[in-house]
Amino acid sequence: PEFQTIHYGDLQSYLPDTDLIGVFLETEGDFYALLMLVFDEETGYNAAGELMGISVQDRNKRSMNIEDVQSVLSELTNIVGSSLLNEMANRTSLAITPTVPHFVHGKASDLLSYIDAKENPDRDSRFIYISTDFLREDTELLGRMFMLPNRPELMDLVKRIR
């Protein structure tokens, strides 16, 4: 995957211009961060439908229940996010635990409002952006994963990476 850092003020340019689906995963323990996996709405429905075994023509919001999409994409975020967090914990000996996912379906402004509501004084102004391609059989789906860490804990994490 592609990794880069982006400033909070530039985040909107990395988000879909259309309706989106995002799932947030916060961390607890020795390292706090806010992770989010974001899809444009069509790709989010397609990803959920693929994972549920729904036929290609029925992978859309007219045919699918949003609660099912929420459940499947929350689980996908748990799997992808926990994998990343477990690797970070293993390399640093820090206790890093994910919380229950939070689902957002709407506009980029809805996603940004959720982030702003967190009001964390130690939150960094830079995100780590990870372009994620999900490959399954004949399907390739582009997702966007972002991590917004706390600056002091990020510095400690970087020092501990082995």
User: What secondary structure, in 3-state letters, does 39-66 show?
Assistant: EEHHHHHHHHHHHHCCCHHHCCCCCCCH
Position 26 scores a pLDDT of 93
User: Contact, 47 vs 152, CB < 8 A?
Assistant: no
Position 121 scores a pLDDT of 65
Q: Which residues of the chain have pLDDT under 50?
A: none
Position 135 scores a pLDDT of 59
Convert the pLDDT of each residue in 119-151 to its tens digit: 776 666 788 888 776 656 666 666 788 888 887
Q: Two tokens at 35?
A: 């992770």
DSSP notation for 99-146:
---EEEEE-HHHHHHHHHHT--TTB-SEEEEEEEEEEETTEEEEEEEE
Q: Which residues pair with 67 in a beta bridge?
A: none
CA gyration radius, the chain: 16
Q: Two tokens at 56?
A: 């290609």
Distance separating alpha carbons of residues 93 and 47, to the nearest angstrom? 33
Position 151 scores a pLDDT of 78
Question: What residue type is assigned to position 142 of the chain?
Answer: L
Buried b / exposed e along 16-45 (16+ C-beta atoms within 10 A): beeebbbbbbbbeebbbbbbbbbbbbbbbb
Position 116 scores a pLDDT of 87
Position 122 scores a pLDDT of 65
Position 3 scores a pLDDT of 78
Position 72 scores a pLDDT of 96
